[in-house]
Each structure stands twice: as C-alpha cells, then as structure tokens.
Amino acid sequence: GEEVAQTPKHLVRGEGQKAKLYCAPIKGHSYVFWYQQVLKNEFKFLISFQNENVFDETGMPKERFSAKCLPNSPCSLEIQATKLEDSAVYFCASSQSDAGSGYTFGSGTRLTVV
C-alpha cells in the first residue's frame, strides 16, 4: 500500500512494563526511520534502517530500547521497562532512498506510561 501503517494507535503501560510498537513501511521503500515526538512538537531521532540493517542508531537509549526490521515482517520498536518519560508519540517513516523525496510518515503510536 501507499501508506505507512503503525500499530497500535494507542498503548498504555504501567511503569516497568514492556511496550512493543509496529510499523509496516511502504512496499519498495528501503529506508525506515523511528522518531519520538514529545511535548511542543519536538521530534527526536531514534534509529534508522536500510532494509533489515541498522543504518544509524545514534539516537537510541540502548539500555531499554531496541528495534528490528526483518524481511517479510513489520518493523518493530521495543521498550523494556518503560519509564514515565517514555510517554510520547512514536512515528515511523519510510522512504525510497535517502529521503530527498521526503519521508512518508505513519500516523504514530501514542504511548502513555502510567
């Protein structure tokens, strides 16, 4: 399809619980990006993939965050032992190349940690 599909739309977790978010990129797009949007529209880069390979993971808090993009499966972002400050909207985006034509974003997953 021509949209980036993110599931679930909303996710509520108690502090310390695990959260797993999914992203199906547009078919044919070889790059996938994860961003975290907190208050006041601030977007923070987390990680990017080129196909199933990690391209750039400099934004990932490695102790608790992990991500994968495996062939023939949605990409995933997993947070172990969630903290209150992980509450945010997590956006996935995909692009055909290195994004000169612009990324296509999904609608996001709103994670609320209580």
Partner 1 sequence: EDQVTQSPEALRLQEGESSSLNCSYTVSGLRGLFWYRQDPGKGPEFLFTLYSAGEEKEKERLKATLTKKESFLHITAPKPEDSATYLCAVQRDSNYQLIWGAGTKLIIKP
Residues that bind partner 1 (CB under 8 A): 4, 31, 33, 35, 40-43, 45, 48, 55-56, 58-59, 91, 93, 98-108
- The H helix count followed by the E strand count for the chain is 0, 11
Q: How far is the CB of 106 from partner 1 (least distance, A)?
A: 5
Largest CA-CA distance found in the chain, in angstroms, rounded: 39
Smaller CB separation from partner 1, 38 or 81: 38
Smaller CB separation from partner 1, 40 or 72: 40
C-beta atoms surrounding 71 within 10 Å: 6
Q: How far is the CB of 107 from partner 1 (least distance, A)?
A: 5
Smaller CB separation from partner 1, 9 or 18: 9
Closest CA to 77 of 7, 27, 14: 7
The answer to whether residues 34 and 46 touch, using CB atoms and an 8 Å cutoff, is yes
Smaller CB separation from partner 1, 17 or 76: 76
Q: How far is the CB of 103 from partner 1 (least distance, A)?
A: 7
User: Which amino acid does the sequence have at 17?
Assistant: Q
